[in-house]
Amino acid sequence: MSGSQAVSVILLVIAVLGAQSLTKAPPLPRDLDRIQLRTEATQNDWPLSGGNYRGWRYSGLTQINKRNVGELQVAWSLHTGGQNEFESCPLVINGVMYITTPRHHVLAVNAKTGQVYWRYTRLLPGSLRRCCAAVDRGVAAGCGKIFLGTLDCHLIALYATTGIPAWEIESANYREGYGYTSVPVIVGNKVIIGVSRNRFGGQGFIDAYDADTGKRLWRSGAVPTPPEAKPVNSWSGREDPVWMPVTYDPETNTVFAGVGDPGPERAGTHPVATRLNTPFPVALNANTGKLKRDFLQRPNTDPDQDIATGSPVAYDPVRKRIFIAALAPSSPDGPIRGDSTLAARIGFPGPTPAGTTWHLVAIDIESKQVLWDVPSGYPPAAGVTCTASGLVITGTLAGKMLILDAENGKTLYAFKAPSGWCSAPVVYAVDGKEYIAFSSGSSAWSSGSSGPGALTAKGMSRLNAMFAFTLPTKQENPLLTPVQAAGPSKTAPGAE
């Protein structure tokens, strides 16, 4: 047995010991690939991190609607034992919720009651190099397994019923700064995931692995390096990380990935010779990993201000609008409403420059006009989800979960949690009853406290908890169609 094989065997033994199976979870549906291929609204399940392959974050469920959303109550909550940035967006499949915590603990939970089926505990090396918080954005499901990427650049397959590892591979050397913060995506029998080098220089890439064996099928450099992009000064390579989940278009068999944080890291501090190509999305052939197309946005962009890789966004295919966070000059007149040049100011959360405010905005994709905007005193660390009943769900770093009217941005429901919201909500149904689930947990880092002009959420708890909301029994209705769900808005008592 070679040295590398011995290390792999030791890692697998440790991983098996880390799986605590309290009871078996229901298996994944045999037709899960068909469920995931739905290109429109999700229904009872939330089978992918973005809801569907295209990442629309749109649910077709309408039992919770404008007429009754003010009656929402907490169905259950689960304290995971973790703390700080809880960025995990759970999956819900066949009544089972799959959750990850910041340091790669995975839990399979009864989505109706919050009861834990099994827990997998991951141990990270003490010598781990990372630029920021130890975050985990979730898992993927397929082929009877749950797939997890780790900060020490390992890809792990767990059996969905028990949490016991099926296989584990090391994609790149974590000692060189490589690691996963993204969520894998399952396409057929391939596990596709992007890797970054945690801002320590070096080129990121996107890999595809066999879901049954862990064998690597292809590797694609996130950004082709042109001859003129030569390393300068002390920087030995490029920074083309893939921080966030890729999306997939089944019709064209194309994988789309956002590439961000061009390197060297600080714009205006280091020469731009190696910063020519990022940030921007790339389009890859899902079978081969070969580049189909790229879309250059803004060369020499400041880190964390790239719009390709992480803006919390949801798309409503019926109303033809997107809901996204944007940065705009402060003004009591709501200066960005009706603006058709908003794209230049949409960005990922970072320190808020003086004289500007963050807004959640609704944009009509046909007219490219901003229909409404809701200002916020905090960077938008939380994602956005929308529903067929005209609800827009998000949260703030100050601990407030908000449900807004998709037509005008009016607050219909508000819930205050002990900690801030850094993840994205999901919508699902079990036994004919609709739920909204949201993971709560943040720290001062996630509020951009290290940068000038940033606001901090002082006094907030850092403990992680998953909240599931539903209607009381007296308010239960059939899973209505969008037309039936339409009606006058009702504002929750105390909603702001």
pLDDT at residue number 343: 39
Phi, psi for 95 (deg, rounded to 5)? 80, 5
In this structure, how many other beta carbons lie within 10 angstroms of the beta carbon of residue 217? Answer: 17
Q: What band does 491 get if pLDDT is binned at 50, 70 and 90?
A: very low
Residue 407: pLDDT above 50? yes
Q: Are 435 and 468 in contact (CB under 8 A)?
A: yes
Distance CA 300, CA 350 (A): 16
Q: Single out the residue of 167, 63, 1, 23 nearest to residue 427, CA to CA.
A: 63
Burial class (CB in 10 A: 0-12, 13-18, 19+), 164: middle
pLDDT at residue number 480: 53
Domain boundary assignment for the chain: 56-80+313-496
Q: What band does 344 get if pLDDT is binned at 50, 70 and 90?
A: very low
Q: Is the peptide bond before 29 cis (omega within 30 degrees of 0)?
A: no
Distance CA 105, CA 87 (A): 13
Q: Are 210 and 255 in contact (CB under 8 A)?
A: no
Q: What band does 177 get if pLDDT is binned at 50, 70 and 90?
A: confident
Q: Are 435 and 110 in contact (CB under 8 A)?
A: no
Q: Which two tokens stand for residue 337?
A: 């409403």
Per-residue pLDDT tens over the stretch 204-256? 788 999 999 999 999 987 554 444 444 332 222 345 567 677 889 999 999 98
Weakest-pLDDT range from 24-28, 166-170, 205-209, 273-277: 273-277
Q: Is the peptide bond before 279 cis (omega within 30 degrees of 0)?
A: yes
The mean pLDDT value for 383-394 works out to 95
Please tell me the number of Cα atoms within 13 Å of 100 on its side-chain side.
30
Distance CA 306, CA 282 (A): 14
Burial class (CB in 10 A: 0-12, 13-18, 19+), 334: middle
Residue 265 to residues 197, 271, 352: CA-CA distances in angstroms? 12, 10, 18
Identity of the residue numbered 415: F
Considering only residues 33 and 66, tell me which one the structure prediction assigns the higher pLDDT.
66
Per-residue pLDDT tens over the stretch 110-150? 999 999 999 998 888 777 666 666 677 889 999 999 999 99
Weakest-pLDDT range from 169-183, 187-201, 288-302: 288-302
Q: Are 135 and 87 in contact (CB under 8 A)?
A: yes
Weakest-pLDDT range from 182-196, 285-299, 414-428: 285-299
Q: Which two tokens stand for residue 233?
A: 């000064």
Determine the 3-state secondary structure of 40 from DSSP. coil
pLDDT at residue number 141: 97
Which string of b and e fits 472-488 if b means at least 16 CB within 10 Å?
A: eeebebebbebeebeee
